[in-house]
Amino acid sequence: MTARATKSRSRAGRIGGVSGSIVKCICPRGVKTGYDWSVMAALEVEIWRGEGNDGSWRCYAVPHQANQTVLDVVTHVQRHIDPSLAYRFACRVGMCGSCAMTVNGRPRWTCRTHVSRVSRKGRLRISPLRNLPVIRDLAVDMAPFFEKWRDAEARFVPSPVPVEEPVRPGEPARKAADAGIECINCAICYAACDSVAWNPDYPGPAALNRLWTLVNDRRDGDQDGHLEAAGTGCHLCRSHQECAEVCPTNLNPTTAIAGLKREVFRRTLARPPWEGRQ
């Protein structure tokens, strides 16, 4: 095995969250696909195929078209080349957050990612999201992502007493909450985050970002519970800011988590352990 092949294997093992052997990509340019290759350039597409942790890269030739998205490419492979390819999508317009995959080493929402923007010399490498168990091919099991979200108490708890004072859009807390509410739960930040990879008990950027919006919501009745929950995990954020780099809706979870750290810091100092817990 050449050094290059070894290198790509380790890269694949890290980024895809899966391991296995890699075959050199020799795409079947000559295969019959029903397209006129003389007028259409071919994309060389490597896709991770396999179940669970076992799998390998397979190559497909896909015609390149104008304004083609990565999801279009994957769909083409399933419809015209190999119907057994497993992947997940729903809305196709960047709202539902279900089509996230690792594209050329970086987690992306494939329905809004143009091939022309991410392909390297006409090549694409598509694998499942990192940090989540692979079900098959490009489909990961999202359960751990949402279970951690639940365990982080990142859900709205209605205030037992009605909030009389109207929430104004311009007030600082509301602005802080507004900055984080456009999350589409795509788990792209979760896949990009090294702290998630390093700490099994780290809730991840998305859940903590949601927690921060709740802490800033006056209508929420369990601020203390939210901060208690935040205190068990938010310090594991190492401010790499990968989440902010990759977030498709341009949120900045690192800022949100920094806010949680500040509040946890204050809350911890406000109640020393020798005073006991309330």
Partner 1 sequence: MKEAWLFTVQRLSALVLAPLVLLHLGVILYAVRDGLSAEEILARTQGSQLWGVVYGLFVFAAAIHAPIGLRAVLREWVGWRGAGLDIAMGLFGLLLLALGLRALAAVL
Partner 2 sequence: MRHGSWWAFLLHRLSGVALAVFLPFHFFVLGLAVERAALNDVLDWADNLWVKLAEAGLVVLLALHLTGGVRVLLLEFGRWSDRQQSRIALAGGLALLAGFGFLAAAFA
Nearer to partner 2, 14 or 219 (CB): 14
Taking alpha carbons only, the member of 187, 202, 178, 179 closest to residue 250 is: 179
d(CA 112, CA 105): 17
Which CA distances in Å does 65 have to 2, 56, 162, 200? 34, 27, 55, 41
Binding of partner 2 at residue 245 (CB under 8 A)? yes
Pairing of strands 100-103, 139-140: unpaired
Residue 268, binding choice from partner 1, partner 2, none, Cβ under 5 to 8 Å by partner class:
partner 1
Taking alpha carbons only, the member of 64, 53, 68, 71 closest to residue 16 is: 53
Nearer to partner 2, 53 or 239 (CB): 239
Query: In terms of C-beta distances under 8 Å and separation of at least 24 residues, what long-range contacts does 170-173 make, across chains too?
Result: 173/216, 173/217, 173/218
Nearer to partner 2, 33 or 113 (CB): 113
d(CA 140, CA 115): 22
Nearer to partner 2, 220 or 263 (CB): 263
Measured in residues, the chain has a length of 278
Binding of partner 1 at residue 134 (CB under 8 A)? no
- Count interface residues toward partner 1 (CB under 8 A): 16
Residue 113, binding choice from partner 2, partner 1, none, Cβ under 5 to 8 Å by partner class:
none
Report, in Å, the least distance between residue 230 CB and partner 1. Answer: 8
Residue 74, binding choice from partner 1, partner 2, none, Cβ under 5 to 8 Å by partner class:
none
Report, in Å, the least distance between residue 118 CB and partner 2. Answer: 12
Nearer to partner 1, 101 or 257 (CB): 257
Among positions 70-129, residues that touch partner 1 (CB under 8 A) are: none
Residues 225-254 as x/- pattern, contact with partner 1 by CB under 8 A: ---x--xxx-x-------------------
Enumerate residues 6+ apart whose C-beta is below 8 A from 183: 206, 209, 210, 249, 251
d(CA 187, CA 97): 8
Site residues, partner 1 (CB under 8 A): 195, 198-199, 228, 231-233, 235, 261, 264-265, 267-269, 273, 277
- Give the interface with partner 2 as residue ranges (CB under 8 A): 105-106, 192, 194, 238-242, 245-246, 252, 254-255, 258, 261-262, 265
